[in-house]
Amino acid sequence: MKYYVLFGPPGAGKGTQAGSMVERYHLCHLSTGELLRSEIAAGTPLGLQARALIEAGNLVPDEVVEGMIAAKFADTKGVEGFLLDGFPRTIAQAEALDRMLQEKGEAVTACVSLMIEDAVISERIAHRARIEGRADDARPEVVQNRINTYHAKTEALITYYRQAGKYQEIDGLGSIEEVRERIFSVMDQL
């Protein structure tokens, strides 16, 4: 089983590229954002808790996200692997993922990282808010908090996966097709 971590700052194009990656490599796409938005839309207790955190631009507690991921690993059949989008976001989550996979005799295959600069992040998130009607992306202070949170908590994963020999960085600028071809050329080698 393959386990890919799809990584990059908010607005890097992870969601845009995930569908093609899933189709080409027969993966199950586990987007924590989509899982949480589904809980919010259903009005579950988790969804209500998550809504308040997300609207403030904060991360949902690790144990909640880890539980959702572990359940999906256990319940999903008929795929060649998983594409993790939005998890892990911290070193603690990466270590938890490693433990989850070690219990199954598995390991992360690679961290595929789409990289863009902060100015591009803000532009893309504002565009996404207009197109998708995402209220969590519409307020500049929330977007800035997400960028700050990425730099403070998530960016450390670059070093974590680089030291493990599993980090693959891809330039996230260019057309959707250009970025997709860069991703495929890397993943075809893994």
Active site residues: 14, 89, 128, 134, 146
Phi and psi at 174, nearest 5°, equal 120, -175
Report which DSSP code applies to 10.
T
Q: Across the strands, what pairs with 85?
A: 6, 31
- CA distance linking residue 69 with residue 94, whole number of Å: 12
Concatenated DSSP letters for 98-155?
A: HHHHHHTT----EEEEEE--HHHHHHHHHHHHHHH--GGGT-HHHHHHHHHHIIIIIT
CA distances from 62 to 48, 88, 90, 126, 189 (A): 16, 9, 9, 27, 32
